[in-house]
Amino acid sequence: MSEVLHSPAEVKIWRHSKKGSVGFVPTMGALHAGHEELLRRARKENDFVVLSIFVNPTQFNDPTDLEKYPKTWEQDLEMAKRNGVDAILFPQYKDMYPDGYRYKVTENEYSKLLDGAHRPGHFDGVLSVVMKLFNIVSPTKAYFGEKDYQQMTLIQGMVQAFFMDLEVVPVPTVREKDGLAMSSRNTRLSKEQRALAPAIYKAITESASAEEAAAKLSSQGFAVDYVTDIGPRRFVAAKLGEVRLIDNVQI
């Protein structure tokens, strides 16, 4: 049975009543096979599993993207039950932001690159909400997909910088058969766009350079925000119509 809890206070009471490790999977809902993998890992490695579903407005720089973010509560609940989730945190904005977002967490270097350069304020919103969620849930381990590699790395850095008592566990990207990285935004692609989308993974894995990958994607009709190599990883963000897709691979 997955218990649905709405307020941070309820979750804290729930947490204090539990002895044992808690695996935490923070999400914005519209759960897919990538999230299911996070839940499976959390279930395997902990005594209890907490899932949060909260579409966090402070991390959306584009109001249309926020408005169109898919919501699939019934299916999400099914997936939670199927994977033995003990508690679901399903709060509202006023529960998460009693301060009206007067306080925020900012990282000043890595968060300014890649997605940060194209989505002003995005990582402030992510880090702030994740800090809040960690303080509410007090997890032993928290699970993040490597699809959002920059996000995962920034959260790991925040945990270290603020001496937070938990482990951030990176989980490899889950892909469709054709290579497209699983993402809640994929459901917003038209049939034609969905057929084109696997070109992203193909371009970043098969090109000799970031420039070559960017050129291939542009010539196929993608609006490329960036293809950038940092250390051993290649990162990409590109739009098909209104839908912005990201991915990254080890090179």
Give the binding site for ligand PAF (CB under 6 A).
26-28, 56, 59, 126, 129-130, 148, 151
3-state DSSP call for residue 246? strand
Of the candidates 203, 186, 184, the residue with the CA atom closest to the CA atom of residue 195: 186
CB of 89 to ligand PAF, least distance (A): 11
6 annotated active-site:
no
Across the beta sheet with 3-5, the strand order is 3-5, 87-89, 48-53, 22-27, 141-145, 167-171
Of the candidates 146, 202, 201, 142, the residue with the CA atom closest to the CA atom of residue 174: 146
Catalytic residue (one of 16, 35, 118, 122): 35
CB of 41 to ligand PAF, least distance (A): 15
List Cα–Cα distances, 128 to 118, 125, 131, in angstroms: 19, 5, 5
Alpha carbon distance 105, 126 (integer Å):
9
Contact call for residues 81 and 2 (beta carbons, < 8 A): yes
CB of 145 to ligand PAF, least distance (A): 7
Neighbours of 248 (CB within 10 A): 21
Q: Quick one: DSSP state of residue 58?
A: G
CB nearer to ligand PAF: pick between 56 and 140: 56
CB nearer to ligand PAF: pick between 151 and 207: 151
Alpha carbon distance 66, 42 (integer Å):
28
List Cα–Cα distances, 98 to 50, 93, 197, 217, in angstroms: 22, 8, 39, 43
CB of 152 to ligand PAF, least distance (A): 9
CB nearer to ligand PAF: pick between 42 and 213: 42
Residue 193's identity, in one-letter code, is Q
CB nearer to ligand PAF: pick between 57 and 212: 57
CB of 162 to ligand PAF, least distance (A): 16
Q: Would you name the residues annotated as active-site residues?
A: 35
